[in-house]
Amino acid sequence: MISCHSIVNLPEARKVAIFGGTHGNEMSGVTLVNLWINNGAEVQRSGLTVKPYITNPRAVEKCTRYVDTDLNRAFTTDNLSLPRIEDLPYEVRRAQEINETFGPKGSSDAYDVIVDLHNTTSNMGCTLILECSKDHFSLQMVNFIKQSIAPASCSVLLNEHPLLHYSTSRSVGKHPIGVEVGPQPQGVLRSDIFEAMRAVVNHGLDFIELFNGGMEFEPCTVDVYRVSGNMDYPRDKKGNITAMIHPNLQDSDWVPLNPGDPVFQTFDGRTINYEGESTVYPTFINEAAYYEKQQAFVITRKETLKANGIRASNI
Ligand SMILES: CC(=O)N[C@@H](CC(=O)O)C(=O)O
Ligand SMILES: [Zn+2]
């Protein structure tokens, strides 16, 4: 068999932003970005402009997820094209400002790479979030990070679901990448989570530096978990939850969940089982911020993506 070593040329990635505080109570990203704003030496790489940036300073100040509305849902075309009037929700105004500085979203002026740092209360470990299965640059970056971080592991969550996809802060960049590390309670710093996030960012920057320097990255495959649905808590007529995550499911992010497996435990001790048709991989299990979004966990399916080989074109 003749193997195909197709390598595609892509533009260099010169402008990179590291976002923290998109959610003001997710402390690893907030703390790392503030650290790097004070001293950028750790995140500088030759040939790159790397800008660490706090995206929601008012939420950070209050140590809350958001002030008026979730910033990580606010980068819709509608919001970004609204006239800039004073009485817009704070996060909508922020989205417009961020879009002006790091975008405009979808334009050639936009930042090349935006890494957005998040923490979860779920036991997801180190997770990279992609928004597009055809973004070969991001797939190669993820593959590089996974290999660099081994034997530690790093899962990849792909959200390009037609209904469940949302308009993230990082989406103003050409290659958006979310870094989601947990478990870490809201408003709390844990050194293990902090250092895991820091390592991922540094490997990501190394990748971009090598890419710009002319290194070729061979075609590869990336195992991802693709978002396919979500599951709400059982609720009463008033909308109050009537059950909790079942102890068997708690902390079992990425563990296969089969039809008939327990998912909820009611307050009177009954077990509610998973009624899906096939094996799925739940994640964001019992994420604190998702109670208001009617989400007990996110349902994913495993898939292997193919990435083209890449090299920088202007070498
Ligand atoms: C817990 C949390 O905030 N997760 C992020 C995931 C993402 O960045 O896509 C969010 O819902 O915006
Ligand atoms: Zn977050």
pLDDT at 81 over 80: yes
- Please report which confidence band the pLDDT of residue 3 belongs to, taking 50, 70 and 90 as the band edges: low
The CATH number of the domain holding residue 255 is 2.20.25.160
pLDDT in tens, 249-281: 999 999 999 999 999 999 999 999 999 999 999
Closest ligand to residue 184's CA: 1
Residues 96 and 109 in one domain: yes
**In angstroms, rounded to a whole number, what is the distance separating the alpha carbons of residues 37 and 27?**
15
- CA-166 nearest atom, ligand 1: 9
- CA-116 nearest atom, ligand 1: 8
Binding residues for Zn(2+): 23, 26, 118
Q: What's the 59 CA to ligand 2 centre distance in angstroms?
A: 12
The CATH number of the domain holding residue 169 is 3.40.630.10
Active site residues: 180
Residues 284 and 140 in one domain: no
Give me the domain span that covers residue 238. 229-299
Residues 141 and 276 in one domain: no
**In angstroms, rounded to a whole number, what is the distance separating the alpha carbons of residues 272 and 49?**
51
Residues 151 and 115 in one domain: yes
Residue 64 falls within a domain, yes or no? Answer: yes
The amino acid at residue 171 is S
Residues 68 and 90 in one domain: yes
Q: What's the 220 CA to ligand 1 centre distance in angstroms?
A: 27
- Please report which confidence band the pLDDT of residue 85 belongs to, taking 50, 70 and 90 as the band edges: confident
Percent of the chain with pLDDT over 90: 95
Residue 2 falls within a domain, yes or no? Answer: no
Residue with tokens 């327990």: 262
pLDDT at 1 over 70: no
Residue 1 falls within a domain, yes or no? Answer: no
Closest ligand to residue 284's CA: 1
Burial (CB count within 10 angstroms: exposed 0-12, middle 13-18, buried 19+), residue 156: buried
pLDDT in tens, 139-187: 999 999 999 999 999 999 999 999 999 999 999 999 999 999 999 999 9
Segment among 24-28, 52-56, 85-89, 232-236 with least mean pLDDT: 85-89
The pLDDT assigned to 68 comes to 98
Instruction: Show the tokens assigned to 266.
Output: 């009611």
**In angstroms, rounded to a whole number, what is the distance separating the alpha carbons of residues 252 and 286?**
10
Residues 65 and 212 in one domain: yes
- CA-293 nearest atom, ligand 1: 11
pLDDT at 44 over 90: yes
Which pTM value belongs to this model? 0.96
**Which residue among 72, 116, 169 has the greatest number of ligand 1 atoms within 8 angstroms of its CB, and so is best to mutate?**
72
Structural domains in the chain (count): 2
pLDDT in tens, 190-228: 999 999 999 999 999 999 999 999 999 999 999 999 999
Instruction: Give the Cβ contact number of residue 160 at 10 Å.
Output: 14
Q: What's the 118 CA to ligand 1 centre distance in angstroms?
A: 7
Residue 129 CB–ligand 1 contact under 6 Å: yes
**Residues ≥6 apart with Cβ < 8 Å to 238:** none
- Please report which confidence band the pLDDT of residue 5 belongs to, taking 50, 70 and 90 as the band edges: low
Residues 181 and 244 in one domain: no
The amino acid at residue 311 is R
pLDDT in tens, 110-130: 999 999 999 999 999 999 999
pLDDT at 54 over 90: yes
**Which residue among 180, 283, 291 has the greatest number of ligand 1 atoms within 8 angstroms of its CB, and so is best to mutate?**
180
The amino acid at residue 85 is I
Residue 94 CB–ligand 1 contact under 6 Å: no
pLDDT at 300 over 80: yes
Residues 42 and 174 in one domain: yes
**In angstroms, rounded to a whole number, what is the distance separating the alpha carbons of residues 156 and 216?**
22
